[in-house]
Each structure stands twice: as C-alpha cells, then as structure tokens.
C-alpha cells in the first residue's frame, strides 16, 4: 500500500464551498471538518478527517503522493504542499543560537521586602514596624532584595522612615528601540496582541494574559509547556510593575494562541488554525516567532499563509514574523516561510552593538520589498519572562519579532483607525538606517525606533 501523508490543498477560489472541496478531493462531504474548530476542541485527531479552512479556500487531507500530484493538475487547485513542520525561531543562549554574553544587570529582577527576626515579610514600599530588628540599630530595619529565584536574598539595614522606592529596571533592548521613551504617551493599552507560539505561562507574575486557545491536537490548554512563547510574550508586554523586565507595550492585552508543541514544533495546518482564531477574535496584532527554512532563494511563499495573512489585514490586524535563523548557512541564508510572504512583516535580529546577528536570515535581493527583511530589532541575549515565573536569556529572530509586534501595538493605540499597511509603513519609515544606505537585504529599513514612530 502506498504511503500516505498529510497535504495542504489550496483551491483557486477562496471561500470554497464544502461540497466543491469534497468533490475536488474525491471524498464524502461528511468527512470534512471545520479546521479551526476541530484543532481547538478536545476531540481526538483522526488522520482520516479532512480539515477545511473554508474562508481561505484550503483543506488538509491525508493523501498518497500520486493523489497529491493529480490534484496539482486540477483546474480547481492552486497549490498542493505537504503539511510541513514549523519551528520556533529562537532558543537559550547555551544552545549556541546567539553570540551572547549574560549581562548581570539585565538578569536581576529585584523584589524588595522588609524582613524581621520572625521570618515574616511585608512589601518594602510600606513602613512596616518601627522597632529595630535583631541585627539592625534603632531606627533602622532590615530590607532584603530578592534578586532572582536562584540567588539568596541580599539584606541591608535602612532607616525605617525612608525605604527605597521600587524601581523597574529597563532592559537594554527596550532602551535600544526607544520604547521606554514613549510610555508617557502610549503603552499599548487595550490593544489585542495574539502570540502564535508554544503558549504563554498562565500564572507568570509579570504577564497579564487575557485569553487564548490551543491548536495543538490533544492539548486544550494554552499554557506554555516549552518556554519560547512566554519569552516572546514578555518582550511584547511584560508589565511595568517594578519587578523583572518590562515589554515594549506593557499595557497591551496578550492572547496566547498555542500552535507549537512542547518541543517548539508544529505544522502548517496548526498555524493556519491559529491565524483563523486571531481573525475571528478581533486581534489587532499577530506575532509569529516561528517559521520554516526554504530550499532556494526564490522559493515561493506558501499560498495558504498569504491568504490567511490577507484576511487578517482585511480585518485590521497586522501580522509580524521572524525572518529566520538560517543566516549562517552560506548556501541557504534566505528569509524563510511565512516571513517571505508579502502579508507578513519580516524582522531581522541585531545584537546590543547594532550588528546583524550571524544567524539572522537575509535576502535574496530579488524578493519584493514586502517579502524580504523589512526591519531589524534586538535578538541576541534578550532577557525576558520564562515559564515557571522566571526570567532568562534567549537569542534568535524569534526575540526580534516581538519588539516590532509591541511597537505596532503602540501605534495602534495612538492611531486606532490606521490600517495595518499604514502602521507597517510608519515603522519602516522611522527606523534607523543600518548597513547599506537605504533599504537592504539584511536590515531592511533599519533598526526599529519606537520614539520616532510615535513622535516623529
């Protein structure tokens, strides 16, 4: 018996009727299931079922190679591709993804509290008791700083009347893109940002998640079981709360759309379902730190991706994607999928010295302006939130992408009627030029500049 695989079949017509799709695929219409609904549900995934994404004219079916080849010649079919794997585009620095150094000042996340000899604690923002603690002189009290879960607290004797005020450290990457210089005007408040990734830690103290969904079969929770999505979410919207880190748009509304499993891997069909969920639930920004390598400089954009992005744009949502981490491959450093689709704003990665990260995918020059790298953002040794309530460093274009997603949220709050295309153009026009003068294949328009985008 011939081996069968899952194929993504995109029809010529968007909004293809169920009966027409079934006829083209040669299966009973009863075997077609609404793709997003099935993946989001707790139902067991049956390979015999055909997933239909009717709005974008795409179906996912188990077919023999011959059947797939036959469909390619059908007048009703525009594209047939295997339901290929998609991967998270970033990882821990220890994995060798980035040329990174751990900067202690950006790792610490002070949490201050008064401590007394009984072991009780009270927030250092208050005055607590007035008497001296066991090892402090009169008029003083012990204040301890919890720097990180793995460090013992540092304690000092300070005057009771003048406790140190809590202070939010601003990570270097947030300063580099000028986000902290716009928060007196915009913070992303009320803007809905969907993070299509491994999920988001559902009880991280530095993140506020307003909802979500899982498109990973057999998983109904959007809670993060990998850590990648939580890290990306923190770069977008970690709270401005004197603890840990802070994101580009600290008051944006984060939504966790789980499209990658615990290994950081998913499939095209899962991503399409997540994009459909974002459209149906009125997201303003979609952030996608994921992708797949291409095997040729002018490899085509996957049509199903492009149609899903076009529907999001028509609904008023801008879609931002990581350019890819294939820059070290001398034979194949090209921008990957879906970033090379015109409907996605592709983001390259730079380090703290504004140099292009060696892993950052680029080019080729033959790609259209909206198909290649459009803008760059920090993506090396980025400190952000991790699952389990912690913080850590990761590198990749996955880390660069959410900086731009957060910036889009800032502009959306400031200009709620602006179209995705206008927001995208504004971010490009206000970027700081890097590399060759003007737009280039490595940096696009240059380094993201939130201050110029908001005030320029």
**Cβ contacts of residue 320 below 8 Å, gap of 6+?**
285, 286, 287, 288, 344, 345, 347, 401, 402, 404, 405, 408
- Pick the catalytic residue: 214, 269, 398, 445? 398
H or E element that contains 420: helix 420-429
Q: Identify whether 228 is a catalytic site residue.
A: yes
Closest by CA to 394, choosing from 179, 58, 71, 106, is: 106
- CA torsion 96-101-103-109 (nearest 10°) is 10
Q: Are 336 and 324 in contact (CB under 8 A)?
A: yes
For residue 240, indicate whether it is catalytic: no
Q: Who's near 8: CB < 8 A, 6+ residues apart?
A: 58, 59, 60, 79, 80, 81, 82, 83, 268, 269, 272, 302, 304
Task: Name the residue among 352, 347, 446, 438 with its Cα closest to residue 399.
Answer: 347
Interatomic CA distance for residues 290 and 416, integer angstroms? 27
Q: Which of 197, 206, 223, 440 is catalytic?
A: 197
Task: Find how far residue 437's CA is from the centre of its chain.
Answer: 29
Q: Please list, residue by residue across 341-366, b when 16 or more beta carbons sit within 10 angstroms of its beta carbon and e when fewer do.
A: bbbbbbbbbbbbeeebbebbbbbeee
Report CA torsion sign: 292, 308, 199, 377: positive
Spell out the long-range contacts of 426-429 with Cβ–Cβ below 8 A and sequence spacing 24 or more.
426/453, 427/345, 427/375, 427/453, 428/374, 428/375
**Active-site amino acid positions:** 197, 228, 398
């Amino acid at each position: 018996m011939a081996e069968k695989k899952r194929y993504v079949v995109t029809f010529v017509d968007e909004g293809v009727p169920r009966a027409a799709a079934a006829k083209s695929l040669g299966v009973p219409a009863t075997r077609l299931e609404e793709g997003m609904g099935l993946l989001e549900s707790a139902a067991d995934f049956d390979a015999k079922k055909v997933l239909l994404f009717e709005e974008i004219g795409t179906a996912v079916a188990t077919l023999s190679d011959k059947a797939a080849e036959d469909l390619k010649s059908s007048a009703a079919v525009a594209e047939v591709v295997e339901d290929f794997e998609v991967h998270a585009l970033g990882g821990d620095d220890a994995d060798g993804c980035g040329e990174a150094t751990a900067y202690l000042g950006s790792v610490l996340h002070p949490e201050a509290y008064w401590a007394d000899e009984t072991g009780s604690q009270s927030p250092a923002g208050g005055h607590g008791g007035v008497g001296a603690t066991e090892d402090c002189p009169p008029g003083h009290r012990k204040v301890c700083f919890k720097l990180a879960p793995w460090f013992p607290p540092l304690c000092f004797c300070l005057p009771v009347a003048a406790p140190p005020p809590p202070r939010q450290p601003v990570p270097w990457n947030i300063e580099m893109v000028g986000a902290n210089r716009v928060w007196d005007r915009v913070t992303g408040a009320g803007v809905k940002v969907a993070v299509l990734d491994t999920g988001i830690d559902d009880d991280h103290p530095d993140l506020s998640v307003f909802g979500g969904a899982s498109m990973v079969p057999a998983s109904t929770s959007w809670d993060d079981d990998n850590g990648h999505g939580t890290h990306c979410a923190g770069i977008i919207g970690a709270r401005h709360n004197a603890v840990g880190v802070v994101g580009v748009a600290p008051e944006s509304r984060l939504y966790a759309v789980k499209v990658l499993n615990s290994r950081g891997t998913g499939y095209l069909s899962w991503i399409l379902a997540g994009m459909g969920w974002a459209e149906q639930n009125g997201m303003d920004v979609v952030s996608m730190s994921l992708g797949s390598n291409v095997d040729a400089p002018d490899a085509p954009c996957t049509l199903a991706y492009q149609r899903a992005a076009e529907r999001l744009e028509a609904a008023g949502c801008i879609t931002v994607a990581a350019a890819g981490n294939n820059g070290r491959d001398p034979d194949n450093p090209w921008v990957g999928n879906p970033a090379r689709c015109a409907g996605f704003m592709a983001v390259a990665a730079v380090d703290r010295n504004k140099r292009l990260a060696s892993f950052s995918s680029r080019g080729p020059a033959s790609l259209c302006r909206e198909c290649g790298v459009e803008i760059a953002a920090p993506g090396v040794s980025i400190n952000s939130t991790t699952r389990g309530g912690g913080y850590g460093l990761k590198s990749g274009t996955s880390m660069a992408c959410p900086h731009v997603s957060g910036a889009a949220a800032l502009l959306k709050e400031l200009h709620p009627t602006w179209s995705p295309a206008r927001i995208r153009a504004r971010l490009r026009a206000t970027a700081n030029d890097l590399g060759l003068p003007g737009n280039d294949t490595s940096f696009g328009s240059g380094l993201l500049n939130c201050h110029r985008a908001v005030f320029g």
